[in-house]
């Protein structure tokens, strides 16, 4: 089986959830309605791969309503399109070597495109169903053991409903206050659609001296255990950039490794692939070039994690 559609809504009741979708100019309380279709995909144009990456592509309409501007009255409703592509290169059946994630969020002036690349060193164990222990049976449905409260229920044959709370929210029990409700419908396995790997990440050189503070990636670096700022830069970006307006680098500490697993239990409960990343010692470098922001986490000069945002 594979995913056919994902439908439902998110209630963005906190400032952090509004900011995650680039809606920090509005008060918390926006409602996001999703109507997405899915395809399994593969890529055959990867020059650095040993095996063809495989994954999923989501695309469809997004409607954001109940938007209340902070600095003015009234409410706003915006219609947009969301396209998400997630590819993983497997070594054998249970280990992932590389991942590519593209999120194309077309929402008027709040539009953004985010590209993420990960190279797992060592390879990441990805045995199917290894997160089942995170759920426990509860009144004929499954409920999360820890973290945000979520409920998983098979409502019809080939249909799963997941509802509950978003991460890092207070006073949410998934019943009296529900922040997310999504339903996945499945279909028989289809032939994967061939797609292209995003542009190759390029290591930049001859960048001169830059001391301006980077702003385009916001507080992305806080996902890692960064320490002191350093002058030794290791910049990477998608394709060559013409001009660098600002650049900064920080050491990444390996004493308390940061583990990033965004919406992992939500995604696996919906039948989608999820991703995780754990940092160790290295360098995090950010550059700003016009509206483009690129961040790269490297170890011994080799790229491990890269993020770009336009």
Q: DSSP for 175-186?
A: SSS--EEEEEEE
pLDDT of residue 36: 96
Can you name the residues that pair with 34 across neighbouring β-strands?
A: 8, 62
Let me know whether 12 and 116 are in one domain. yes
Do residues 16 and 56 both lie within one domain?
yes
Residue ranges with strand state E in 68-220: 76-90, 95-106, 112-125, 135-138, 141-144, 150-156, 159-164, 180-187, 193-195, 201-203
- Same domain? For 271 and 216 the reply is yes
112 and 214 co-located in one domain: no
- Count of the separate structural domains present in the chain: 2
Q: Are residues 240 and 184 in the same domain?
A: no
Q: From 137, 167, 195, give the residue that closes a domain.
A: 195
The predicted structure's pLDDT at residue 137: 83
- Three state DSSP letters for 210-221: CCCCCCCCCCHH
* Residue 276 and residue 220 share a domain: yes
Last residue of a domain, which of 164, 195, 226?
195
* Locus of tokens 């997405």: 36
- pLDDT for position 283: 92
The residue range of the domain holding 59 is 2-195
- Do both 227 and 185 map to the same domain? no
pLDDT at 182: 94
272 plus 157 within the same structural domain? no
- Domain termination residue (choose one: 142, 163, 195): 195
Nearest to 266 by CA among 176, 183, 169: 183
* Same domain assignment for residues 236 and 128: no
Asked if 16 and 120 sit in the same domain, the reply is yes
pLDDT along the chain (310 residues), means of 10: 92 86 88 95 90 94 93 88 93 88 86 90 71 72 84 86 85 86 92 88 74 84 86 85 87 74 71 74 91 92 91
Q: Are residues 49 and 175 in the same domain?
A: yes
Distances (CA, A) of 185 to 103, 109, 177: 22, 32, 24
Q: Which residue from 280, 204, 272, 270 is spatially nearest to 241, judged by alpha carbons?
A: 204
Quick one: pLDDT at residue 132?
Answer: 60
Do 39 and 182 share a domain, yes or no? Answer: yes
Give the strand pairing for 277-278 and 259-260: antiparallel
């Amino acid at each position: 089986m594979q995913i056919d559609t994902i439908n439902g809504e998110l209630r963005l009741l906190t400032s952090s959830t509004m900011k995650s979708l680039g809606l920090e100019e509005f008060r918390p309380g926006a409602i996001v309605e999703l109507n997405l279709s899915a395809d399994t995909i593969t890529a055959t144009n990867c020059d650095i791969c040993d095996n063809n990456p495989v994954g999923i592509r989501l695309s469809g309409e997004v409607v954001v309503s109940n938007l209340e501007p902070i600095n003015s009255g009234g409410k706003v409703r915006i219609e947009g399109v969301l396209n998400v592509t997630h590819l993983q290169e497997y070594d054998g059946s249970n280990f992932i070597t590389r991942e590519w994630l593209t999120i194309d969020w077309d929402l008027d002036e709040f539009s953004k495109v985010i590209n993420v690349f990960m190279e797992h060193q060592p390879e990441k164990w990805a045995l199917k169903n290894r997160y089942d222990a995170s759920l426990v049976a509860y009144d004929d449905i499954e409920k999360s053991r820890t973290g945000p409260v979520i409920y998983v229920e098979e409502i019809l044959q080939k249909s799963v409903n997941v509802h509950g709370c978003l991460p890092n929210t207070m006073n949410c029990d998934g019943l009296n206050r529900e922040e997310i409700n999504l339903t996945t419908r499945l279909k028989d396995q289809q032939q994967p659609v061939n797609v292209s790997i995003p542009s190759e990440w390029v290591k930049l050189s001859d960048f001169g001296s830059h001391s301006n503070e980077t702003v385009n990636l916001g507080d992305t670096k806080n996902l890692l255990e960064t320490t002191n700022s350093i002058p030794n830069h290791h910049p990477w970006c998608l394709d060559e950039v013409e001009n660098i307006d600002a650049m900064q680098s920080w050491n990444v500490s390996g004493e308390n490794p940061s583990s990033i697993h965004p919406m992992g239990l939500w995604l696996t409960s919906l039948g989608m692939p999820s991703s995780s990343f754990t940092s160790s010692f290295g360098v995090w470098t950010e550059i700003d070039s016009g509206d483009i922001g690129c961040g790269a986490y490297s170890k011994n000069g080799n790229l491990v994690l890269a993020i770009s945002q336009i």
